[in-house]
Amino acid sequence: MADFKAPPTLGHYQEALPTFLELFSQGGSDSSHVSMDERKPFLRRQLEAYFPFTQWITRYNWTWFMGDLIAGVTVAAVAIPQSMAYAKLASLPPQFGLYSAFVGVTLYFFWATSKDVTIGPVAVLSQLTGSILVAVAATNPEYSGIQVAAAIAITAGAIVLLIGILRLGFIVDFIPLPAISSFVTGAAINILVGQLPTLVGTSKLFDTREATYLVFINFLRYLPDAKLDAALGVSALALLYSIRWLCQLLGERHPKYEKVMFMTSTLRSVFIIIFYTIISFVINSGLETPRTSLLGKIPAGLQNVGVPQIDFTLIGIIGPYLPSVVIIMLIEHIAIAKAFSRINQYTINPSQELIAIAMANILGPFFGAYPVTGSFSRTAIKAKSGVRTPLAGVLTSIVVIVAIFLLPPLFYWISNAALAAVIIHAVGDLISSSQYLRDIWNVDPVELLLYTIGLSISIFTNIENGIYFSVGAAGVVLLYRLANPKGQFLGRITVYDIALKSTGDKAVTPKFASRHMWVPLDHTGSNPDAVIQPPPPGVFVYRLNEGYVYPNANLVLDRLVDYIKAKTRPGTLNVGVKNGDLPWNQQPYTAKITASLSERPVLLAVIIDLTGVSRIDFTASQALLDIRRTLEKYAGRPVSFHFVCASSGWVKRALIASDFGGGVGTAPVFPAIAAITPERRLVSLLDHTTPYLHNSIEDAVTAAERMSAAVHDLHDA
């Protein structure tokens, strides 16, 4: 190591603390760190932020168009039968599913940041909409289902729009995957069971909107009354699964036909609907009373274009149902958009995506649409079909609008049983697999318990209750874990690294290197046989493993104080003190207790590891002050508090504002210094005004011993 000379006066470094304005700033002012987007004029940045298609539409080319055309037509072929089937789930005429499919993908284009997502009718939201329509019709029959659906779409869309404009898209991340899976699985089972009567032709014999378990019981009860529809529905369902299995098998065995198999599998619902529509036509053509249940007459064209007829009374009626609708809109869409952006390696803007689905729902009812959000199945098809840009959605809408105007005479003969088979086949993939449940159990059994309860509530009551429980329980668990962090007291352990180096023959020369680590004294995460040395007597090292804010501030520090008092002796023993001179909550020490306490060290310093803490709020800082006063009164002398790895500027600001971090009286300061040039020129590594803030536990322990000794010498003098 080269020799170096310290300068006569060591230059001090003082760190600038964050300011209030930096709460709303994303970075500094250094132009070298400004992105290309930030160099654009303000109006252009705003235009591209709210209408992302303006960023790429001028570069649109023929290659992109061909990819979008194939994907758009493929999605449209799937969306047409699916949207009509989902409209029936929503207790609406089938044409409203077509209107929703057309409007959703058209409007989404203008605000989209995802090339893959397809907006339109989806199973879970349609089922939820249908249950709301039935509930409103029971109490307020003066409102039609179309009015109620339009009111739901517009009001829920307005709420989502507000969330998007305020850039609060991150709130979706507060709902964990098991909670989402719980009510999605519950909704899927609800839909599946609700379609079984239609599959066999008994749907008119009992109420299929009851609780899932009651629908299933009635399905079994009326199964002997099954009609010819059962032959169509069951065989269609069997064919759907058979085609998918066969295409997957052949694609794996014959890779050169993989694309053909993929397209065949993707369009299996279309093939089934066409095939069974032909069968239905043959069976029922020329009969006044059809032998099987048919989709029925669908008007051609956009018959419901106009201003929706809604009022504030209706909005008040649907108000209690809106939270569940908004949750489904947010979660389904954002989860799908994020998943496919990760798969295809691009970035979405969650808040902008919320604006996109909000506008689709606000403007959609003017064209006859009901509530829509992102569709997982059609998004997956779109992604696998080679989509290049969001313009594919516009191409999908063109195909759908052509179908709306030209194909209604053919739609009349579609079998309701075949549509039920398509729905059952589609929602079956939404049910959580056994492997997924095992994965949850292996990671967190508590989440599996909540999943099971949420699923049971969805099945035995309704989807809304399942949603509310799952989201509410997730919030309670989050708050509980935040309020009960698992802090740990640390000790020092010597770790040896052994490197084996060959000397050229078979002999091996070991090389040893040792270092100190600080690990939990209770051996959490380490070998119980390892010898862990506690800190020096009177010094305690405590690690906060999670955030330190007002919900957990008092609990964390109460544990800290209780542990320290159990390991140290008070500064003054109340031996021989009269009861009248003691506080009401203390008892005089006996000789035995006094002898035991005398063996314990006096409290000198407390070291808190803040590695896992990114923010300290006012309540938490006041709790720290209270604890310092409590411990100093207990010890009968000053107690130094040291903090390690307070890397966040806001944490440092909170500590300094609360009178932590700075020197105490005339206590000596031992600054850390660092070399900044090969010539070993020295500067202060840390802020010289905060000698109680350290970069490592080892530094903090050393400083604590020195500072405590100096302070206690002054105190004793």
- Residue-wise pLDDT for 317-342, tens only, equals 999 999 999 999 998 898 888 888 88
Nearest residue to 28 via CA among 466, 621, 589, 649:
649
The rounded distance, in Å, linking the Cα atoms of 319 and 32 is 50
Residue 26 lies in a domain: no
Residue 478 and residue 615 in one domain? no
Helix (H/G/I), strand (E/B), else coil: 254: coil
Q: What is the pairing mode between strands 488-502 and 539-543? A: antiparallel
Per-residue pLDDT for 662 more than 60? yes
Per-residue pLDDT for 502 more than 60? no
Q: Which helix (H) or strand (E) holds 674?
A: strand 673-675
The predicted pLDDT at position 486 comes to: 79
Residue 578 lies in a domain: no
* 8 A C-beta contact, residue 120 and residue 198: no
Residue 539 and residue 478 in one domain? no
CB atoms within 10 A of CB 323: 15
Residue 42 lies in a domain: no
Per-residue pLDDT for 99 more than 90? yes
Helix (H/G/I), strand (E/B), else coil: 365: helix
Residue 183 and residue 173 in one domain? yes
Residue 165 and residue 116 in one domain? yes
Question: What's the mean pLDDT in 294-303?
Answer: 90
The rounded distance, in Å, linking the Cα atoms of 593 and 614 is 42
Residue 576 lies in a domain: no
Q: Is the dihedral of CA 278, 280, 282, 288 positive or negative?
A: negative
Q: Which of 434, 463, 482 is the last residue of a domain?
A: 482
Residue 375 lies in a domain: yes
Residue ranges with strand state E in 575-689 = 605-609, 640-644, 673-675, 682-684
Residue 435 tokens, joined: 């492997």
Per-residue pLDDT for 120 more than 60? yes
Higher pLDDT, 419 or 545: 419
The predicted pLDDT at position 388 comes to: 92
Per-residue pLDDT for 69 more than 90? yes
* 8 A C-beta contact, residue 694 and residue 700: yes
Residue 107 lies in a domain: yes
The predicted pLDDT at position 667 comes to: 43
* pLDDT, tens digit (0-9, with 9 covering 90-100), for 196-251: 999 999 988 988 888 899 999 999 999 999 999 999 999 999 999 999 999 999 99
Helix (H/G/I), strand (E/B), else coil: 521: coil
Number of domains in the chain: 3
Residue 439 and residue 510 in one domain? no
Residue 521 tokens, joined: 């004294």
* 8 A C-beta contact, residue 641 and residue 608: yes
Per-residue pLDDT for 668 more than 70? no
Residue 94 and residue 178 in one domain? yes
The rounded distance, in Å, linking the Cα atoms of 119 and 369 is 12
* pLDDT, tens digit (0-9, with 9 covering 90-100), for 125-180: 999 999 999 999 999 999 999 999 999 999 999 999 999 888 888 888 888 889 98
Residue 526 and residue 458 in one domain? no
Residue 114 tokens, joined: 């995802």
Residue 434 and residue 528 in one domain? no
pLDDT band at residue 660 using 50, 70 and 90 as cut-offs: confident
Helix (H/G/I), strand (E/B), else coil: 587: coil
Per-residue pLDDT for 637 more than 60? yes
Instruction: Give me the phi and psi of 704, to 5 degrees please.
Output: -65, -40
The predicted pLDDT at position 21 comes to: 66
What dihedral do alpha carbons 151, 155, 158, 160 form, nearest 10°? Answer: -120
Question: What's the mean pLDDT in 489-496?
Answer: 86
Q: Is the dihedral of CA 44, 47, 48, 53 positive or negative?
A: negative
Q: Is the dihedral of CA 528, 532, 535, 541 positive or negative?
A: negative
**Region label for 590, one of left (φ > 0), alpha (ψ between -120 and 50) or beta (otherwise):** beta
Higher pLDDT, 684 or 703: 703
Residue 131 lies in a domain: yes
Per-residue pLDDT for 16 more than 60? yes
The predicted pLDDT at position 131 comes to: 92
Mean pLDDT, the chain, whole residue set: 84
Question: What's the mean pLDDT in 274-278?
Answer: 94
The predicted pLDDT at position 146 comes to: 94
For 283-292, 481-490, 673-682, which range has the lowest pLDDT when averaged over its residues?
673-682
Q: To the nearest whole percent, how much of the chain has pLDDT over 90?
A: 42
Residue 228 and residue 365 in one domain? yes
Structure-token match 């954002």, residue found: 334
* 8 A C-beta contact, residue 160 and residue 361: yes
* 8 A C-beta contact, residue 493 and residue 526: yes
- Strand-pairing partners, residue 644, are 609, 694
CB atoms within 10 A of CB 32: 5
The predicted pLDDT at position 578 comes to: 61
The rounded distance, in Å, linking the Cα atoms of 341 and 331 is 15
Residue 419 and residue 529 in one domain? no
The rounded distance, in Å, linking the Cα atoms of 148 and 333 is 22
The rounded distance, in Å, linking the Cα atoms of 477 and 483 is 10
The predicted pLDDT at position 280 comes to: 93
DSSP letter string, 201-222:
T-GGGS-TTS-HHHHHHHHHHT
The predicted pLDDT at position 161 comes to: 94
pLDDT band at residue 33 using 50, 70 and 90 as cut-offs: very low
Q: What is the value of pTM for the model shown?
A: 0.79
Question: What's the mean pLDDT in 400-414?
Answer: 93
The predicted pLDDT at position 688 comes to: 61
Residue 519 tokens, joined: 């690990």
Tell me the CATH number at 533: 3.30.750.24
For 38-52, 272-286, 690-704, which range has the lowest pLDDT when averaged over its residues?
38-52
The predicted pLDDT at position 2 comes to: 47
Residue 455 tokens, joined: 């699923």
* 8 A C-beta contact, residue 450 and residue 182: yes
pLDDT band at residue 583 using 50, 70 and 90 as cut-offs: low
Question: What's the mean pLDDT in 554-577?
Answer: 80
Instruction: Give me the phi and psi of 604, to 5 degrees please.
Output: -110, -50
Higher pLDDT, 609 or 683: 609
Residue 514 and residue 532 in one domain? no
Nearest residue to 690 via CA among 703, 709, 677:
703
The predicted pLDDT at position 445 comes to: 93
DSSP letter string, 82-136:
HHHHHHHHTTS-THHHHHHHHHHHHHHHHH-S-SS--EE--HHHHHHHHHHHHHH
The rounded distance, in Å, linking the Cα atoms of 162 and 156 is 10
Question: What's the mean pLDDT in 347-368?
Answer: 92
The predicted pLDDT at position 45 comes to: 75
* pLDDT, tens digit (0-9, with 9 covering 90-100), for 611-628: 888 888 898 889 899 999
Structural domain that includes position 508: 493-518
- Strand-pairing partners, residue 515, are 495
CB atoms within 10 A of CB 707: 23
Question: What's the mean pLDDT in 469-497?
Answer: 86
Q: Which of 482, 510, 545 is the last residue of a domain?
A: 482
Residue 164 lies in a domain: yes
The predicted pLDDT at position 271 comes to: 92
pLDDT band at residue 4 using 50, 70 and 90 as cut-offs: very low
Residue 433 and residue 502 in one domain? no
Question: What's the mean pLDDT in 416-421?
Answer: 92
Higher pLDDT, 609 or 710: 609
Q: Is the dihedral of CA 231, 236, 241, 243 positive or negative?
A: positive
